[in-house]
């Protein structure tokens, strides 16, 4: 009989998980299984957890705060529920407003009509236009000499690796998509190898503003103008956005869209206000509200 990875933190079998990886499925499944085994061994050896030092519990209990587990468990439960579309529509309305901020799709039901695909840990390429721009502006964006020298050389050398999207919901029939940037305790990254000013939200948005025509389905069906990006975090950080860098960035991007032009200077466009409307913020508690029991965070 196939067993779920963990009854609480990932109640899905390896076969069920495999359906939701477009790239590197076996590697991802090994990660989940290995982490769960360490956790189960720890719980078996420690029937009473009170008083166990943080230093001893942090590594084997990584599963309890692991964004990859929280994301997979929550979104797969929502995706496979009998009322999945109602739950997703309610979540998106809370994060982006009652009317979808995309062209020609005026209801969330219209956005979600048709076959949907949920992909975990999706890898999308960095836009070539960004590499070209960064190579020409290395002096402004990198003060360390050896890093600037590394930017030179071959004109075809990529200066940024692919971006890993925590989860990507795609409707291939109309090109609608929602990318999830999930956090539990961590903050967004503000460091990349070559560009000291590039942050994770701007990078993710930059990737999503690019079409993926050369990639396999359903990725090639995604339409950038119909793609949304949402944070998925604990509610405490949405109530206190100043406590995380992503709180400051998202608030600025949505309230002052010209900040997007500042952080994506290689993109020339006049509709940054429209892009800003496609940035949202939902919480794990929101998921629990639309589908009680979707996420259990403690045994």
Q: List the domain boundaries for the chain.
A: 1-64, 67-128+158-290
What is the spatial distance between Cα 158 and Cα 107, in angstroms, rounded to a whole number? 39
- pLDDT at position 299 over 60: no
Task: List the structure tokens of 209.
Answer: 């503003």
**Would you state the pLDDT for residue 284?**
96
**Spatial CA neighbour of 179 closest among 152, 136, 212, 157:** 212
**Spatial CA neighbour of 181 closest among 192, 191, 166, 163:** 166
Query: pLDDT for 217-270, tens place per residue?
Result: 999 999 999 999 999 999 999 999 999 999 999 999 999 999 999 999 999 887
Query: pLDDT for 40-83, tens place per residue?
Result: 999 998 778 888 999 999 999 999 999 999 999 999 999 999 99
* 95 in Cβ contact with 281 (< 8 Å): yes
pLDDT category at 156 given cuts 50, 70, 90 is: low
CB atoms within 10 A of CB 93: 16
Buried b (16+ CB within 10 A) or exposed e, 66-79: bbbbbbbbbbbbbb
pTM over 0.85: yes
pLDDT category at 89 given cuts 50, 70, 90 is: very high
Please report which residue ranges of 162-241 form alpha helices under DSSP H.
200-208, 235-239
- 91 Cβ neighbours under 8 A, 6+ residues apart: 78, 282, 286, 287, 290
């Amino acid at each position: 009989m196939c067993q779920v990875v963990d009854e609480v933190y990932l109640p899905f079998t390896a076969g069920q998980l495999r359906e939701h990886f477009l790239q590197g499925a076996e590697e991802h499944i090994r990660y989940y299984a290995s982490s769960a085994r360490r956790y189960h061994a720890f719980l078996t050896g420690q029937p009473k957890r009170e008083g166990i030092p943080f230093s001893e519990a942090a590594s084997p209990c990584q599963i309890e705060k692991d964004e990859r587990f929280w994301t997979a468990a929550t979104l797969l439960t929502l995706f496979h529920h009998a009322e999945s579309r109602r739950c997703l529509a309610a979540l998106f309305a809370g994060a982006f407003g009652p009317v979808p901020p995309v062209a020609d799709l005026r209801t969330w039901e219209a956005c979600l009509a048709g076959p949907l695909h949920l992909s975990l840990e999706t890898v999308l390429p960095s836009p070539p236009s960004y590499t070209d721009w960064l190579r020409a502006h290395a002096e402004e964006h990198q003060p360390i000499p050896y890093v600037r020298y590394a930017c030179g050389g071959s004109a075809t050398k990529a200066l940024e690796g692919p971006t890993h999207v925590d989860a990507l919901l795609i409707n291939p029939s109309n090109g609608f998509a929602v990318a999830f940037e999930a956090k539990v305790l961590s903050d967004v990254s503000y460091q990349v190898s070559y560009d000291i000013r590039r942050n994770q939200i701007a990078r993710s948005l930059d990737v999503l503003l690019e079409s993926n025509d050369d990639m396999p389905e359903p990725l090639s069906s995604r339409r950038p103008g119909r793609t949304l990006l949402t944070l998925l975090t604990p509610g405490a950080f949405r109530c206190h956005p100043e406590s995380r860098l992503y709180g400051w960035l998202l608030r600025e991007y949505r309230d002052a869209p010209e900040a997007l032009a500042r952080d994506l200077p290689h993109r020339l466009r006049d509709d940054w206000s429209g892009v800003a409307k496609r940035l949202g913020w939902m919480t794990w508690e929101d998921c629990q509200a639309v589908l009680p029991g979707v996420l259990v965070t403690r045994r």
